[in-house]
A and B are shown apart, each in its own frame.
Chain A
Amino acid sequence: MTTALAGTDRYLEEFERLERRDAPRTPAWLAELRRSAMTRFVQRGFPTTRDEDWRYTNLSSLTATPFQTASSLPAHAVPAARVNRLRIGPDAWPRLVFVDGRYAPEHSSVKQLARGVRLSSLAEAISDDETLVDQELIGRHLGRYARPDSDVFAALNTAFVQDGAVLYVPAETTIATPVEVVFLTTEPGALSQPRILVVAGPNARATVVERYVGFTDQACFVNAVTEMAVGTGASVEHYVLQEQGASTFHFSTLHAALERDSAFSTCEATFGARLARTTLTMRFGGEGGRGSLSGLYLTNDHQHVDHHVTVDHAVPRCSSRQLYKGVLDGASRAVFDGRVIVRRDAQKTDAAQTNKHLLLSDGVEVDSKPRLEIFADDVKCTHGAAEGQLAPEAIFYLRSRGLDERAARRLLTLGFVREVIDRIGVESIRSYLDRAIELRLGTERGSKEMA
């Protein structure tokens, strides 16, 4: 291993300790994957604001904080009632729950899955000798999309990869209900690095809901990586609800690889964390793919929310839609970098990107940057960014109908994010988000809002 860069040495020590500890039960392919990812991480080190992709997001407070790998801390018991309160959908949703990155079977329920569907914790899948098929599957996909050599947080996650969720949906199979994976952040000072792998075979259909819930307001470091392989003609709907505690550093790297005629949608709602960074890449690997990426974020105080989205139109005749909307209050800050690459052969590409911010206070800051890199000539690409405050005329209109200023602002703010919520295909997620947003904007008469 090369010499550690500043901030990486403690991760390297921890890596070597875990490597020794886990050596007897680690398959060779995994040991190799981890080690090469660690090498990559140590070579690169944490990014600084001199890196173009991190220009507006300063990680010095993250790198200065000593975190402990959650898997080397004692397991934290969470009362069942507390977990049950988090339910957003019907009881019948299959659900995997993780506490500080570690699978918690007592809170999980994996049942009523269609024939051939495999849903399990990653740790079980890679340690259980009985399920060698799983190992082969995982070895084939893990680290292939969110590549350690292209992203330092993917490298860090891969170096420590231990647990998370694996969902495999075989060809021609539909999972009727959403699959929920819930990551609870409970232990102050812990670093957890969940890994999610979703593989949808040809013409498979699935909906995955990924949730991050903070049970502590102390500083934590969560570095999640999600990889989605969407097979030919398959359709995957993905949701991310991030409700971390106020002092958490939350990193989420999502990579979706779409095969021919497949459809992928992801919608991310960001509420928590002091610093939240989403690095999302969607790559079309076959013609006729359709991708919809959307997100909404509500920030306050000194929160910092950063989205870096890359859509790679590598092949012809694919369409992508991006819609990101942020509501900023307090002294919070939002960064949005939306990159659309249309490669030379990717004719008939149809790409649209929209990023809008609603600024509720004078102390907020927004850096929004669309980047279109178009190398084909027969394409349709649009992008739009806008930021503004609530229109005084609209506020007066609502006041003239009896709403006070606060209620008027609240209703207009709900209206601003509605466009994103309307894209959500699962009714119980829509209503959960409606409630979550209303709660954050303050309760009001007529809380049983119609929309």
Chain B
Amino acid sequence: MLSIRDLSVGVDDKTILRHLNLEVRAGEVHAVMGPNGSGKSTLAQALAGHPAYTVLGGEVTYLGQNLLAMPAEARARAGVFLAFQYPIEIAGVSNAAFLKAGLNEIRAARGQEELDAMEVLELLEQKLALVEMDRSFLNRPVNEGFSGGEKKRNEILQMAVLEPKLAILDETDSGLDIDALKIVAQGVNRLRRPDNAIILVTHYQRILQYVEPDHVHVLFDGHIVKSAGKELALELERKGYDWIKDEAAAA
């Protein structure tokens, strides 16, 4: 589904990702872990098409298309979804209006009929239950006045509504209490299907107790230095990241 080859990405004249390689197949959940500053968020943002991140080299193929040539909105319409680490507050735009606008763009790209306000509302109400948010969230301005946990749940709500093929979750677990974490994890597990894939970018192993990954990668100094099964996450939890740094330095 997603094939990242030799990807280098910079921001503000600083190279962050260096020759990164990653293969993600449909039906898989990949955890990308790593210490702070290793390039995890850069990878997430670059895949979503943030214009501040400059691709310096390499290629990314997504469902046979050259992902890097697509503007952010085309990626979203093709099924790529990024759950933001720091969701943006949008004054004066209700969550419902925001979701309706995005959903109808994506539906149009899929060749589906636009949904009207009532139909969107019905869909949203079903999805709200999934993240245990109440109806009032729909009328509130996007993320404005939301707690940290509410913002993250709102990202999962958007994911549930937009039904992406490739979901990238950028530290969606950070700053969540255990109840919110379970809700987020449950939302992610609902999305898990043989025909889509999930990349969980995380600092901690905690969420992986609830969302079991097929592969765990360690990102350090801009590229993946170690890949293994879910047992690697537990090892990182026990030993921290220093041994990875030492290994990388020795290599």
Which residues of A are in contact with B by a Cβ distance under 8 Å? 391-394, 396-405, 407, 411-412, 414-419, 445-446, 448-451
Q: Are A451 and B101 in contact (CB under 8 A)?
A: no
> B49 to chain A: which residues have CB within 8 Å?
399-400
* Other-chain residue from A398, A404, A416, A448 in contact with B91 (beta carbon distance below 8 A): A416
Given contacts A397-B87, A445-B105, 19 further A-B contacts (CB under 8 A): A396-B50, A396-B51, A397-B84, A399-B73, A400-B84, A401-B105, A402-B106, A402-B162, A407-B101, A414-B92, A418-B91, A419-B92, A446-B100, A446-B104, A448-B116, A449-B100, A450-B96, A450-B117, A450-B120
In the complex with contacts A412-B90, A418-B91, A451-B97, A398-B102 CB distance below 8 A: yes
Q: B129 an interface residue at 8 Å Cβ cutoff?
A: no
Contact across chains for B93 and A414 when beta carbons are under 8 A apart: yes
Question: Nearest CB to that of A391 among chain B residues?
Answer: B88
Given contacts A416-B91, A416-B92, contact A402 B102 (CB under 8 A): yes
Check: B197 CB closer than 8 A to any chain A CB. no
- When distances are taken between beta carbons in the complex, the residues of chain A under 8 Å from B91 are 415-416, 418-419
Complex contact A450–B97 (CB within 8 A): yes
Q: How far is the CA of A446 from the CA of B94 in the complex (A)?
A: 14
A397-B120 in contact (CB<8A):
no
- Is residue B148 contacting chain A, with contact meaning CB distance below 8 A? no
A451 CA / B104 CA spacing, docked (Å): 15
Residue among B73, B76, B97, B162 making CB contact with A449, cutoff 8 Å: B97
Interface string of B82-126 (1 = CB under 8 A from A): 101001101111101110111111101100001011001100000
* B95, closest chain A residue (CB): A450
Q: What would be 9 A-B contacts, judged by CB atoms less than 8 Å apart?
A: A396-B50, A400-B84, A401-B106, A402-B106, A411-B101, A418-B93, A446-B104, A446-B114, A450-B100
Determine the distance from Cα of A449 to Cα of B105 in the docked complex, in whole angstroms: 13
**Which B-chain residue is minimally distant from A449 (CB atoms)?**
B97
Name the prevailing secondary structure of the B interface residues: helix
The smallest C-beta distance from A268 to any residue of chain B, in angstroms, reads: 18
Per the bound structure, the CA–CA distance linking A419 and B90 in Å amounts to 12
Q: Are A415 and B72 in contact (CB under 8 A)?
A: no
Which residues does chain A contribute within 8 Å of B77, judged by CB atoms? 402
A401 touches B162 (CB 8 A): yes
A/B pair count, beta carbons within 8 Å: 108
Q: B92 near A417 (CB under 8 angstroms)? A: yes
Cβ-defined contact, B90 with A445, below 8 A: no
Residues of B within 8 A of A (CB): 48-52, 71-73, 75-77, 81-82, 84, 87-88, 90-94, 96-98, 100-106, 108-109, 114, 116-117, 120-121, 141, 158, 162
| Complexed CA–CA distance, A399 and B94 (Å) | 16
A394's closest neighbor in chain B, by CB?
B88
Instruction: Decide yes or no: A402 and B97 within 8 Å by CB, A396-B72, A414-B92 being known contacts.
Output: no
**B9 to A: closest C-beta gap in Å:** 15
The distance from the CB of B197 to the nearest CB of chain A, in whole angstroms, is 17
Q: In the complex, A401→B102 CA distance in Å? A: 5
Shortest Cβ distance from A414 into chain B, in angstroms?
A: 7
Task: Give the contacting residue for A411; candidates B73, B98, B104; CB below 8 A.
Answer: B98
In the complex, the chain A residue whose C-beta lies closest to that of B161 is: A401
Q: Are B93 and A415 in contact (CB under 8 A)?
A: yes
A415, B93: Cα distance in complex, Å? 5
Once bound together, how far apart are the Cα atoms of A402 and B114, in whole Å?
14
| Measured CA separation A400–B98 after assembly (Å) | 12
CB distance from A443 to the nearest CB of B (A): 13
Minimal beta-carbon separation of B201 from chain A (angstroms)? 15
**Nearest CB in chain B: distance from A63 CB, A:** 40
How near does chain B come to A115, taking the closest CB pair, in angstroms? 40
B51–A403 touching, CB < 8 Å: no
State A414–B92 Cα separation when bound (angstroms): 7
Known contacts A400-B82, A402-B102, A450-B97: does B73 contact A394 (CB below 8 Å)? no
Q: How far is the CB of A260 from chain B (nearest CB, A)?
A: 35
Q: How far is the CA of A314 from the CA of B49 in the complex (A)?
A: 57
Q: Which residue of A lies closest to B96 (CB)?
A: A450
Nearest-Cβ distance from residue B108 to partner chain A, whole angstroms: 7
**Minimum CB–CB distance for A422 against chain B, Å:** 8
Once the chains are docked, how many angstroms separate the CA of A448 from the CA of B101? 10
Q: How far is the CB of B55 from chain A (nearest CB, A)?
A: 16
3 tightest A-B contacts by CB?
A418-B92, A415-B92, A401-B102
Q: Is the CB of A399 within 8 A of B90?
A: no
Closest to A444 in B: B101
Q: Chain B residues near A451: list those with CB within 8 A.
A: 93-94, 97
Given the known inter-chain contacts A446-B114, A448-B116, please indicate yes or no for A401 contacting B87, CB distance below 8 A.
no
> Which residues from B are CB-within-8-Å of A418?
91-93, 141
Inter-chain CA distance A448–B116, complex, in Å, is: 7
B93 touches A445 (CB 8 A): no
Bound-complex Cα distance A417 to B92 (A): 7
Distance A394 CA – B50 CA, assembled complex (angstroms): 11
